[in-house]
C-alpha cells in the first residue's frame, strides 16, 4: 500500500524551531520529487517546498524561504522539513505529498499523508 506518514508536529513558541518527518512506503521513493503543503485552520492549501529525487533541485514558497529547509534521505525513504524562526502565521496542518517523477516542478501531487499539526504560540 502506498503511504505517507508525517510526524514531528506540536506546540512551539514563536522564534523556535521544529523538524517534521515524512515516512514513505509502497513506492520507489527515490524516483519521485516530494513536497510539503500546509493548510492553516479553516483556510486553503499552500505549497511550502519541493525537492527533486536526488536533492539536486529545491524550491520554496516566498513565505518560508530562508527559514525552512527541506531535505530527504532516500536510504530511509524519508522526507524532512526543518522549520526555524517560526511565526504565528506558520500555524497549520503540514502535509507531505508525492510529486511527479524526478523534478519537483513537474507532475501532480498524487499521494498525500494525513498531515501533522504545527501550532506556533506563546
Chain residues in the site for another protein (CB under 8 A): 35, 37, 44-47, 50, 59, 61-62, 95, 105, 107-110, 112-115
Q: How far is the CB of 75 from another protein (least distance, A)?
A: 26
Cβ pair 17, 40 in contact under 8 A? no
Between residues 32 and 109, which has the closer beta carbon with respect to another protein? Answer: 109
Between residues 17 and 45, which has the closer beta carbon with respect to another protein? Answer: 45
Measured CA to CA, the distance from residue 43 to residue 5 in angstroms comes to 22
Between residues 83 and 99, which has the closer beta carbon with respect to another protein? Answer: 99
Q: How far is the CB of 33 from another protein (least distance, A)?
A: 11
Between residues 1 and 62, which has the closer beta carbon with respect to another protein? Answer: 62
Q: How far is the CB of 114 from another protein (least distance, A)?
A: 6
| Long-range contacts, stretch 58-61, CB < 8 angstroms, 24+ apart | 58/104, 59/104, 59/105
Phi, psi (rounded to 5 degrees) for 72: -145, 155
Residue 51 corresponds to which cell in the numbers above? Answer: 525537492
Measured CA to CA, the distance from residue 72 to residue 24 in angstroms comes to 11
Amino acid at each position: 500500500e502506498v503511504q505517507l506518514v508525517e510526524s514531528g508536529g506540536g506546540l512551539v513558541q514563536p522564534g523556535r524551531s521544529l523538524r517534521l518527518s515524512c515516512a514513505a512506503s509502497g513506492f520507489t521513493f527515490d524516483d519521485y520529487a516530494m513536497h510539503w503543503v500546509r493548510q492553516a485552520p479553516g483556510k486553503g492549501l499552500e505549497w511550502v517546498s519541493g525537492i527533486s529525487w536526488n536533492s539536486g533541485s529545491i524550491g520554496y514558497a516566498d513565505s518560508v524561504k530562508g527559514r525552512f529547509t527541506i531535505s530527504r534521505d532516500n536510504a530511509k525513504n524519508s522526507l524532512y522539513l526543518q522549520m526555524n524562526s517560526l511565526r504565528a502565521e506558520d500555524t497549520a496542518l503540514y502535509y507531505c505529498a508525492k510529486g511527479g517523477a524526478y523534478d519537483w516542478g513537474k507532475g501532480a501531487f498524487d499521494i498525500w499523508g494525513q498531515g501533522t499539526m504545527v501550532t506556533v504560540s506563546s
